[in-house]
Structure 1
Amino acid sequence: MLRTTLEFRRVLLRTRLQRLNSYLSSNPTLRTDVETDEDGIPIRPTWSVNELLSSYPKPTISPAKLKHLHTLSALIPPEEGSPEHAKLTEEMQDLVKLVEAVKLVNTDSVDDGNGIPDGRIWAEGTGIDLDAEPIPVDENEVRGRDLLKYSKNVSPEGLYLIDSDRSK
């Protein structure tokens, strides 16, 4: 059923794109110079993210802010003044620029129903079969806390210990 649903959606999308392409090509006021394939999909990109973002100002991230972000992420920051630090700062500034540009998009005219996006991974009407038989478990398989017997880093209380190269 899932396959037929996907095939149906592909056919429907292809039909709609062909109609749109036909409409655009028959109406000279709407015609564009974009070359498309038989399904109405542009052959080459019509715009790029870099081109779009080039008009936005680039934010600055101070070394202290970058260090703070690393602390929040439990990561060790590169040494200040190093090429890695400069590259990471540049990449973070680009990410902040992208996020700020996305936040500027006016979405007032978008009707989103109840405001909750549809996050299903299955087509509507399908899903997990809750009445299915459970998967048999191998009795010889080591599971759960028994796995800690094979570790060298276990506390006397039976907890797994993690070495940290950060001091706090």
Structure 2
Amino acid sequence: MLSIASKRLLPRLYSLSTTSTSRTASTDALNNVKIETDEFGIPTTPTWSVNELLSSYPSPKLSPETVERLYKLSALIPPARDTPEQQTVVRDLEQMIRLVEAVRLIDTTGVTPVPRAVKEDADKQAFADSIPEATGRKLLKYASRVQDNLYVVNKA
């Protein structure tokens, strides 16, 4: 049986079927194309590519002024205009924006978010929980001077 995590890795349009020899994923939308999967139901070869996905989305155009403003906001020195370096930066930024826009267009209605596997402060919590903290009267035994269960501090 496939784990929930491996089912989520496959696109929703796939219907999973198991046979005695191997596990395969098939889809009616792709004319019953068989995709070979490993024992966990994960495809052994890519089922799609980012480049293929992005080819169906229009490419945004960034003006040199916009790129210079981004550099200024980032406290970086922009490359000189009309240089190969600037053209490379503009092309890379346009591709990143294109990818972000493609991801934003994905319909996620009905998809249950996966809970975080690790809390952001897990390292702090694990440390704090694993070592019991001495508090209150337990700490008084380390003080050089104590009177009536209170610390005594010498005035300078």
Mapped partners of 1:86, 1:95: distance in 2:
14
Could you tell me whether the CA contact under 8 Å between 1:35 and 1:44 is conserved in 2? Answer: yes
**Relative to total residues, which structure has the larger strand share, 1 or 2?**
2
Change (3 A) 1:39 1:111: closer
Which stretches of structure 1, 4 residues or more, deviate above 6 A after TM superposition?
27-30
TM-score (norm 1): 0.55
Residues 1:102 and 1:12: Cα distance change in structure 2 (over 3 Å): closer
Equivalent positions of 1:88-103 (< 5 A) are 88-103=89-104
Give the Cα–Cα distance (whole angstroms) in 1 for the partners of residues 27 and 80 of structure 2: 59
Give the aligned partner of residue 13 of structure 1: 3
Structure 1, unmatched stretches of 5+, are: 1-10, 135-168
Correspondence 1:110 to 2:108: no
Higher Cα Rg, which structure = 2
Question: What CA deviation, in whole Å up to 9, does each residue of 1:44-72 have, x standing for no partner?
Answer: 10100110110000000000000000000
Question: Across the two proteins, how many residue pairs are aligned to each other?
Answer: 115
Given that 1:21 and 1:40 are in contact with CA atoms closer than 8 Å, whether structure 2 keeps it comes out as no
Q: Which residue of 1 aligns with 2:63?
A: 62
Q: 2:71, 2:77 within 8 Å by CA — same for their partners in 1?
A: yes
Amino acid paired to 2:37: T
- 1:53 maps to 54
Equivalent-residue separation in structure 1 for 2:91 and 2:108 (angstroms): 29
CA displacement, residues 88-113 of structure 1 (integer Å, 9 cap, x when unaligned): 00000001101111111122323449
Q: CA RMSD in A?
A: 3.7
Higher RCO, Cα 8 Å, sep 6+? 1
- Following superposition, the deviation at residue 32 of structure 1 comes to 3.7
Match of 1:22 among 3, 18, 21: 18
Distance in 2 between residues matched to 1:28 and 1:67, nearest whole Å:
46
Give the structure with the larger helix fraction.
1
Q: Counterpart of 1:128?
A: 126
State the identity as a percent.
Answer: 39
Contact kept in structure 1, 2:79 and 2:86, CA below 8 Å: yes
Q: State TM-score, norm by structure 2.
A: 0.58
Q: How big is each residue's C-alpha offset from its partner over 1:98-140, in whole Å with a ceiling of 9 and x where there is no partner? A: 1111111122323449xxx536259x9xx51315169xxxxxx
- Which amino acid in the other structure matches residue 18 of structure 2? S
